Amino acid sequence: MAAAPVVVAAPAAQAVGEPVVEVWTAAADGTRIDGKNTARVTPGQTVNVRWSGFRPNSTVVISQCLAPIAAKNNYGAVSWVYDRYCAHQTRFRANTGPDGTGTASYPVKVGKYAPVVITDTGNSEVQNESFKCNGQADGPVTNDCVVVVSECEWSQPLELFQVTGQPVTLRPRAPRPGVTDPSVAAASSWIKFGGNPDGTPATTLFPAPEWPRLPDPPQPPELPPLGGDPVGAPIQGAGSVNTGTLLDAWLAGVRRLAQPADVDFIRGTSFFGAEQLRAGFQSGFTAGADYAVTGVPFTAEEAGGAVVYAPISLTALAVAYAAEYGGTGLNDIRLAPDALAMMLGDGDGVASGNWSDGPTIPGPTGADNGGCDLPVLTTQPIYRSGKSAQNQVLSSWLSATLPAERFRTFFVSEPGSAELSPTRAAASRSSENGSQGAYNIATRFGKAVAADPNNPGDVARARTERLRVGPVGYTDVTEVGIIREKGLPLPVAPLKNAAGKYAAPTKESILDAYAVMRRAADGTLAPTFDHPDRPGMYPLPMAHYLAVPRTDAQGANPMPIAKRKTLAAFIQYAVGDDAQRRVEELGGVPLPEELRKQARDVAAMLLRPDPPKKGGNGGGGGTGGGGTGGGGGLGGGSTTPTGGLGGPAPQPSATPAPSSPAPSAPAVLPVSNPGTVRGGKIPAATGVVPIAIIVIIGAAAAGLGGGWRGYLIWRGRQAGRS
């Protein structure tokens, strides 16, 4: 594909009124060639397409299409069927300037276009016409073509129009009811084509677009050996892998330091991390986890003891999708809360939640996207299974923006809870953890990937899956980022916020949302949504933390000091510039300074020496009674909420200790060493004890040979069901 065009003013096209498209030989000092019998476009020629009367700062798609007269005379067209009469090989994205005008250098394809399979209805494949844009004389057949510019990524809101005695033309179609800001399109006049330099007709065949290659399943990286004598003692964590790619990088990076840290981690969910941390508390941190990665705060009962939170990342929950047609993917779909709920909920019992059920049955996204039509495609909702921080953020937003009865139409789970369960679950599927979400969306749980790319049958089955199913799901924006780094532009939908604007997850929109997140007394953050004065705010920011054992008012910490040194080193590395640079590369935000300070205060707390034992020589490390100065630090202080995020960050405070000892439930055993950092690998995303079955297999894990063996048994049974 040619380089992206530069947007400039289009002086030769009118700047207001009806949308207009013209084709010129050059951007400056050229001549207009559309509608001119004497002008001929030759093979290999790049023309200058100019348009005006479009929405300012919008994205447009330029295509070569049959001239309306050719569609009518050659194919009997009585209406404009854009996916039939346009060459998908010629689609070209460009941008409109702030005044509604634009121009682009457009490489015209002169020759014949192979048919492109648009969709698969389950009964048959649907493809467009194979037609020509060339100077070949075919008797009564007209090979004139036009250039269409459309604000709709997939469709063209145009209709055939003819004045008696005049040639048939294309004009903008009236917007559908309920569309307040309709997208527009326009076509140039007809274009004549010349032949090859030797006078022969141009008969080059342009094949159908190749389907983009899908990514391979995520694999755990091989971690480097420790770079020197490690600080402290080895530690093991557990919990959320919503930002698993970041954790992979940080666990490797902290091992490369001059004084490395031996840090291990078991993949799961935030709530799995709480169970493992509880096992750590119960065992005096000789088993279970020494820290938990989480996107939600824990109660003391859940964690097994008092914890404090060190922020490690500020990202966003992204709504990603994979809707493709003819080897091309949709990239510009915007979603309001109700449209997203329709798609995740498989409709509302009256209307479908599909992308589209046909040209006269538009899907739920029409009003959000200027009335643009979408391909006929079944929506496959992809959820997070069990309890997760991602479910809680999305459920909170949907329940805050939809009427209560409307929310109940789609979901049986409680509004704002850590579970999100659809009322109609026919087509939905679930990812076991956050690191799997982006891959499952992109590949339809692997079904869109040919098992053997050299086997035509496997390739055909994978292509059919891509033609029939368009997944919609949610995952961390950094996990989308790593999919994009692998070469697949997995799209993310801009979401409609309380100001009525559509915002994508960008550094600026996430920081706008961070500024109004609600800070709890324990230092954790939660998004708030009712901000009509913030048009640029992305509504689904997310923060993740390390939950670590808290030092009490007497300066005592239940974790041995050697482990605390390692944990402090890991926190300091994770909030450093190198680690946070990776967050930004993958689509998140470098941790704001007040959150870095909060994390470093936690690290300082962990490094305080244990108090002298009773009867000792009194040498200790200053435990403090609640202040943040001197040696007291975080000893026994409590945090008062600041009421906003503009002032200094509050010091981290604890989850209150339980009034009675935590129940002595059997500890959840950690994954065995061969899948750990010290064994050379981080457990892969597929190597996770699903939270939905932890309760069932937790107590029996030891008898099964550990949680890993029990998980493998479960996976074997699941494989027979899929």
Paired tokens of 117: 């399979």
Each residue of 515-541: pLDDT tens digit?
A: 999 999 999 999 999 999 999 999 999
In this structure, of 98-102, 448-452, 481-485, 699-703, the range with the lowest mean pLDDT score is 699-703
d(CA 250, CA 474): 23
Q: Which residues are registered as beta bridge partners of 235?
A: 263
d(CA 387, CA 374): 33
> Boundaries of CATH 2.60.40.230 in the chain?
20-206
More confident residue, 58 or 8: 58
d(CA 333, CA 312): 31
On the 0-12 / 13-18 / 19+ scale of CB atoms within 10 A, 249 is buried
> Boundaries of CATH 3.40.190.10 in the chain?
235-313+542-614+621-667, 316-526
Residues, the chain? 722
- For residues 228-250, average pLDDT: 95
Report the pLDDT value the prediction gives residue 221, as an integer from 0 to 100: 76
- Checking if the pLDDT of 289 tops 50, the result is yes
What percent of the residues of the chain are helix, what percent strand, and what percent coil, each to the nearest 5?
25, 20, 55
d(CA 132, CA 87): 9
Each residue of 427-439: pLDDT tens digit?
A: 678 888 888 889 9
Which residues have a Cβ under 8 Å from the Cβ of 409 and sit 6 or more positions away? 341, 345, 348, 349, 423
Return the residue matching tokens 């207001």.
16
d(CA 226, CA 263): 10
Return the residue matching tokens 């990286």.
221
Report the pLDDT value the prediction gives residue 678, as an integer from 0 to 100: 37
Report the pLDDT value the prediction gives residue 242, as an integer from 0 to 100: 94
Each residue of 316-360: pLDDT tens digit?
A: 999 999 998 877 888 999 999 999 999 999 999 888 899 987 766
Paired tokens of 94: 């460009």
Give the dihedral sign, CA 391/393/395/398. Answer: negative
More confident residue, 139 or 638: 139
Report the pLDDT value the prediction gives residue 585, as an integer from 0 to 100: 97
- Checking if the pLDDT of 287 tops 70, the result is yes
Report the pLDDT value the prediction gives residue 9, as an integer from 0 to 100: 36
Residue-by-residue DSSP string for 317-362:
EEEEE--EETTEE-----B-HHHHHHHHTT--SSS--SSBSSTTSB
486 pLDDT band, cuts 50/70/90, is confident
Select the highest-mean-pLDDT range: 139-148, 375-384, 448-457, 602-611.
602-611
With respect to CATH, is domain 20-206 assigned 3.40.50.300? Answer: no
Residue 259's nearest CA partner among 233, 236, 231 is: 231
Paired tokens of 163: 């004045």
Each residue of 349-371: pLDDT tens digit?
A: 888 899 987 766 667 888 899 99
Q: Looking at this protein, which amino acid is placed at residue 252? A: A
Each residue of 367-398: pLDDT tens digit?
A: 899 999 888 889 999 999 999 999 999 999 99
d(CA 442, CA 236): 31
Paired tokens of 478: 């950094």
Which CATH architecture is the domain 235-313+542-614+621-667 placed in? Answer: 3-Layer(aba) Sandwich (3.40)
> pTM of the full predicted structure?
0.82
- For residues 562-586, average pLDDT: 98
With a pLDDT cut of 70, the percent of the chain lying above it is 81
Written out in words, the top-level CATH class of the domain with range 316-526 is alpha beta
Residue 266's nearest CA partner among 711, 687, 579 is: 687
Q: How far is CA 55 from CA 7, 24, 174, 374, in A?
A: 14, 22, 16, 20
- For residues 122-130, average pLDDT: 81
141 pLDDT band, cuts 50/70/90, is low
In this structure, of 189-203, 221-235, 522-536, 699-713, the range with the lowest mean pLDDT score is 699-713
425 pLDDT band, cuts 50/70/90, is low
- Checking if the pLDDT of 625 tops 50, the result is no
Residue-by-residue DSSP string for 399-458:
HHHS-HHHHHHHB-SPTTSS---BS--SS-EEESSHHHHHHHHHHTTTTTS-SSTT-HHH
389: phi then psi, degrees, rounded to nearest 5: -65, -35
Q: How far is CA 389 from CA 272, 373, 538, in A?
A: 11, 34, 17
In this structure, of 39-43, 278-282, 290-294, 473-477, the range with the lowest mean pLDDT score is 39-43
Report the pLDDT value the prediction gives residue 605, as an integer from 0 to 100: 98
- For residues 6-23, average pLDDT: 59
Report the pLDDT value the prediction gives residue 427, as an integer from 0 to 100: 67
Q: Looking at this protein, which amino acid is placed at residue 19? A: P
- Checking if the pLDDT of 665 tops 50, the result is no
- For residues 690-719, average pLDDT: 39
